[in-house]
Amino acid sequence: MKQEINRHEILEKIKPLIENTSMRFGFVPIETDFVKENHRWFVRIFLYSSEKDVTLDDCENITRSLNEFLDEIIPVKYFLEVSSPGLERKFKSEKEFEIFKGRRISLKLKEALPNETERIFKGEIIEWDENEGLTFLRFDDGEELLIPKDNIQSAKLYID
């Protein structure tokens, strides 16, 4: 008999546990997912800290701390993957603009800004406002831009 799995329900149950465990080690889980790929279930956790890099030891410690608790909640066999977000990771949620404040990003707009022809910019996140959008320092001319959040097509961390 095939077991029905409600991935959203499981995510809701495991997210607080993952957040608390990550914070104990000084990290923020910027993305948590529970997905089925090639007939296998995966729990993927991407960690971030503004104070330190995510090391392999950190990932192992968090994995060990979570394994037993997740086994009690998740009713199927799964693979747990804990890692850093990567150097040029594409943003998956608006909260990442706040998390990565002060970091360099590559930004792609849906439409060019008034008096502009380009839609792709490199710069630094100055501020994120839920209503106003992104305040962004463009590198090529040092101009500070306010980008409405509904005009942001994509953003990713940028490394020179």
Secondary structure of 4-72 as H, E, C letters? CCCHHHHHHHHHHHHHHHHHHCCCEEEEEEEEEECCEEEEEEEEECCCCCCCHHHHHHHHHHHHHHHHH
Q: Which residues contact 42 (CB under 8 A, 6 or more apart)?
A: 33, 34, 35, 36, 78, 79, 80, 81
Query: Which residue ranges make up each domain of the chain?
Result: 7-83, 95-157
DSSP state of 111: S
What's the N-to-C CA distance of the chain in angstroms? 53
Confidence check: pLDDT of 53 > 90: no
- Beta carbons within 10 angstroms of residue 120's beta carbon: 11
- Note the pLDDT tens digit of each residue in 62-74: 999 999 899 999 9
Confidence check: pLDDT of 14 > 80: yes
> What pLDDT, on the 0 to 100 scale, is given for residue 1?
47
- Mean pLDDT of all residues in the chain? 90
- Note the pLDDT tens digit of each residue in 127-148: 999 998 999 999 988 889 999 9
Question: 152-157 and 104-109 as β-strands: parallel, antiparallel, unpaired?
Answer: antiparallel
CA distance 82 to 43: 8
> What pLDDT, on the 0 to 100 scale, is given for residue 3?
65
Is residue 44 a contact partner of residue 81, using CB atoms and an 8 Å limit? yes
SS3 breakdown of the chain: % helix, strand, coil, rounded to 5? 30, 35, 35
CATH top-level class of 95-157: mainly beta
pLDDT band at 151 (very low <50, low <70, confident <90, very high): very high
Confidence check: pLDDT of 52 > 50: yes
pLDDT band at 2 (very low <50, low <70, confident <90, very high): low
- Note the pLDDT tens digit of each residue in 24-50: 999 999 889 999 999 999 999 999 888
In the numeric block, the tokens 């747990």 are attached to 80
* Residue 4 one-letter amino acid: E
CATH top-level class of 7-83: alpha beta
